[in-house]
């Protein structure tokens, strides 16, 4: 007798779906199911993201949800699709790309897109296996939630599921799937794709969808597509100001990794600065230093020019397109001043305060001072009126003493209580340092996920003290500088 294999029943997690990106039509995506992940298990879960989606504790721990988010069982009402896009990678046109290992399950009625990353091959995999590994999935999960905890616009991560199924990268690793959540995963590259193909009807359809869904204030403008470009430019400027102020290196700012909503998107070879080195290159694959920390704002501006070129057939006026990009530099400069000023406790920093900020950064760069620890110690030293812990960070006392004298004089114009309150909620005690992530990944590879959970706990609230987890806020060990992260990370 022949055996009969039945398709798995759909799991109703209580999610209610609406037609989102899929309404654009079949030339925007390919509909296909995820590839099953053998014997999956939970690695990490975010209760706060589950709450966003309306998933209660029972649903979040349900074995059928584990199967569904590992690609083994459909979710009731979902419509898995992989989207097509193109883009520039390391400044070079790469042609068609697309969701090579990701599937968009759909959009909930509350406006959240849910995506599986690592769910198998798609038509856009470009000879890849379509899988993600445990290492990269944990990094993305933790950094998504870390950035949210820091108040930086970002995609979110609901969970990581793992499997002992082997996946080959530089070495043999194990498979994992990270479930990502965002209002939209649309990238600059989606627009570049249709523009490059001369498919201006689809380009217009996509732009109209984005405007009506995410930028409705552009609808009544004389030049709605130029208005869209300007809105995206402004959001991108604010995002980059956040990155530079907190010391975040993205590592691979290709146009296909740039969010149309100004979110931090795609966590691969990222890094939070340890020593303050403005020209730091975090991506081992970036041999030319294109995406060095201090080049990120100019790269974002270059990427916006690529988006402008893609939208030009709709704007139909090069001067209008360039005018839409013009505010970027001023918006970035003003936002960076506001963010760095806040780190000094200045609620309304003036342009004269730039000199004070620049002097501090020059001191940090000269000695390679730990970026996060400097700002956090400065916050406490102002609160306690005791500068010793900050002076201890510097070999040459003259420079920091002179700077502290000037800074104290500037603070005489401010309310002391408001200064210290602002500094302690602007300068985090905890960031996702590479060595912390690496240590958690090593434990996870042995089946121990406790460090991942601990890291999530502090990264969700990085400005709190967490005295029992003080060891996560210290200086990086010597071996941390030997960690190499690349585009496979």
pLDDT in tens, 289-327: 999 999 999 999 999 999 999 999 999 999 999 999 999
Question: Is the sign of the CA dihedral 184, 187, 193, 196 positive or negative?
Answer: positive
> In sequence order, which residues have a C-beta less than 8 Å from that of residue 402 and are 6 or more positions away?
none
Cα→Cα distances 103→49, 131, 433, Å: 19, 11, 29
Task: Give the C-alpha separation, 309 to 50, whole Å.
Answer: 38
Is the pLDDT at 482 greater than 90? The verdict is: no
Task: Give me the residue label for tokens 């990094």.
Answer: 139
Mean pLDDT of the chain: 95
Catalytic, out of 12, 129, 199, 256:
256
68: nearest Cα among 100, 113, 17, 103: 103
What proportion of the chain, given as a percentage, has pLDDT over 70?
Answer: 98
DSSP for 329-364, please give it: HHHHHHHHHHHHHHHTT-SS--TTHHHHHHHHHHHH
- Alpha helices by DSSP H, listed for 156-281, are 188-196, 200-214, 224-246
Question: Cα 333 to chain center, whole Å?
Answer: 21
Query: 285 exposed, middle or buried (CB, 10 Å; 0-12, 13-18, 19+)?
Result: middle
Q: What is the average per-residue pLDDT within 348-369? A: 96
CB contact at 8 A, 81 and 33 = no
Sequence spans of domains, the chain:
17-182, 188-312, 346-424
Helix (H) or strand (E) segment spanning residue 421: helix 416-424
Q: Which of the four pLDDT bands, split at 50, 70 and 90, describes residue 220?
A: confident
Q: What is the average per-residue pLDDT within 185-189? A: 98
Q: What is the pLDDT of residue 6?
A: 54
Q: What is the pLDDT of residue 423?
A: 98
φ and ψ at residue 211, rounded to 5 degrees: -65, -50
The pair of three-digit structure tokens given for residue 18, joined into one six-digit string = 């609406």
Task: Give the C-alpha separation, 485 to 488, whole Å.
Answer: 8
- Of the CA atoms within 13 Å of residue 345, those in its CB half-sphere come to 25
Which pTM value belongs to this model?
0.96
Task: Give the C-alpha separation, 350 to 347, whole Å.
Answer: 10
Indicate the SS3 state at residue 222.
coil
Q: What is the pLDDT of residue 170?
A: 83
Question: Is the sign of the CA dihedral 107, 113, 114, 118 positive or negative?
Answer: positive
319 among known catalytic residues: no
């Amino acid at each position: 007798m022949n055996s009969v294999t039945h398709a798995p029943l759909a799991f109703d997690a209580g999610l209610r779906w609406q037609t989102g990106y899929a309404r654009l039509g079949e030339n925007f995506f390919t509909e296909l199911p995820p590839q099953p992940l053998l014997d999956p298990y939970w690695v990490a879960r975010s209760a706060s993201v589950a709450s966003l989606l309306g998933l209660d504790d029972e649903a979040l721990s349900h074995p059928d949800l584990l199967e569904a988010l590992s690609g083994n069982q459909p979710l009731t009402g979902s419509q898995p699709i992989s989207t097509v896009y193109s883009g520039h990678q390391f400044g070079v046109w790469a042609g068609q790309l697309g969701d090579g290992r990701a599937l968009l399950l759909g959009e909930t009625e509350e406006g959240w897109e849910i995506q599986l990353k690592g769910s198998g091959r798609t038509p856009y995999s470009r000879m890849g296996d379509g899988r993600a590994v445990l290492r990269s999935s944990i990094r993305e999960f933790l950094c998504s939630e870390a950035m949210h905890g820091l108040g930086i616009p970002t995609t979110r991560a609901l969970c990581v599921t793992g499997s002992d199924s082997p996946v080959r990268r530089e070495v043999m690793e194990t498979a994992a799937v990270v479930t990502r959540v965002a209002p939209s995963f649309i990238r600059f590259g989606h627009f570049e794709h249709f523009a490059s193909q001369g498919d201006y009807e689809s380009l217009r359809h996509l732009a109209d969808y984005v405007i009506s869904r995410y930028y409705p204030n552009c609808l009544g403008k004389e030049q709605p597509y130029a208005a869209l470009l300007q809105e995206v430019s402004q959001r991108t400027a604010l995002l980059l100001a956040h990155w530079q102020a907190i010391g975040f290196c993205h590592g691979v700012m290709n146009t296909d990794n740039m969010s149309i909503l100004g979110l931090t998107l795609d966590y691969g070879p990222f890094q939070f600065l340890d020593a303050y080195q403005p020209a730091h290159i975090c991506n081992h694959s970036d041999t030319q230093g294109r995406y060095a920390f201090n080049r990120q704002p100019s790269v974002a501006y270059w990427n916006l020019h690529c988006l402008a070129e893609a939208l030009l057939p709709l704007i139909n006026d090069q001067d209008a397109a360039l005018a839409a990009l013009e505010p970027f530099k001023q918006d970035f400069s003003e936002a960076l001043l506001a963010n760095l000023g806040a780190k000094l406790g200045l609620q309304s920093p003036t342009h004269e305060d730039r000199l004070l900020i620049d002097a501090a950064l020059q001191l940090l760069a000269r000695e390679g001072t730990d970026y996060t620890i400097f700002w956090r110690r400065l916050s406490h030293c102002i609160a306690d009126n005791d500068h010793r812990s900050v002076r201890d960070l510097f070999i040459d006392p003259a420079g920091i003493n002179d700077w502290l004298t000037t800074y104290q004089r500037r603070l005489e114009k401010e309310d002391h209580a408001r200064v210290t309150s602002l500094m302690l909620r602007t300068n985090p005690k905890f960031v996702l340092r590479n060595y912390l992530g690496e240590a958690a990944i090593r434990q996870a590879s042995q089946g121990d996920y406790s460090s991942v959970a601990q890291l999530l706990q502090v990264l969700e609230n990085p400005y709190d003290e967490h005295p029992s987890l003080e060891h996560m806020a210290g200086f990086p060990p010597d071996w941390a500088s030997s960690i190499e992260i690349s585009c496979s990370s």
